[in-house]
Amino acid sequence: MEKAFNRLAEIVAHAAGRAWAFALCLVSVVVWAIAGPAFHYSETWQLIINTGTTIVTFLMVFLIQNTQNRDGVAIQAKLDELIRSGRAKNDFIGIEHLTEAEAQEFRTRCAEAKTASKGTIASHAESRPA
């Protein structure tokens, strides 16, 4: 079931981002607005657009969130592999699972390391022959 849902979410998220999907929604709203006088702007006329947009929005939230979750996991796995295969510190692997306090501590350590490396770069630049 999970594979079927993932595939459906991928198809819907891809289709929702296309120009024809926007055009279809725009045409639907225009037709609804044009139909207003025929229905004397009744509560039923208003209920149609409210119900339709609510249902579509409700379902799209889950489908798009599923797609974003999978994309985020894939990007994180790719970044982890780049860290593992490169010269970066392996300490960065898995930091997305830290608590907010642990992440802030990690950011502070990185900022301190950056400041320290600026001093090292400056001292190397000063020691170069002109």
Summarised one tens digit per residue, pLDDT across range 55-71 is 999 998 988 888 888 88
pTM, entire model: 0.57
Judged against a pLDDT cut of 90, whether residue 13 lies above it is answered with no
Return d(Cα 112, Cα 116) in angstroms, integer.
6
Return d(Cα 111, Cα 105) in angstroms, integer.
10
Looking at per-residue confidence, does 46 or 104 come out higher? 46
User: For 2-26, what is the mean pLDDT?
Assistant: 89
pLDDT at 130: 52
Q: Bin 128: left if φ > 0, else alpha if -120 < ψ < 50, else beta.
A: beta
pLDDT at 6: 84
pLDDT at 69: 87
pLDDT at 125: 53
Percent of the chain beyond pLDDT 90? 33
User: For 122-129, what is the mean pLDDT?
Assistant: 54
User: Which positions ≥6 away from 8 have C-beta within 8 Å?
Assistant: 63
Yes or no: say if 106 and 98 are a contact pair by the CB < 8 Å rule: yes
Average pLDDT value for the chain: 84
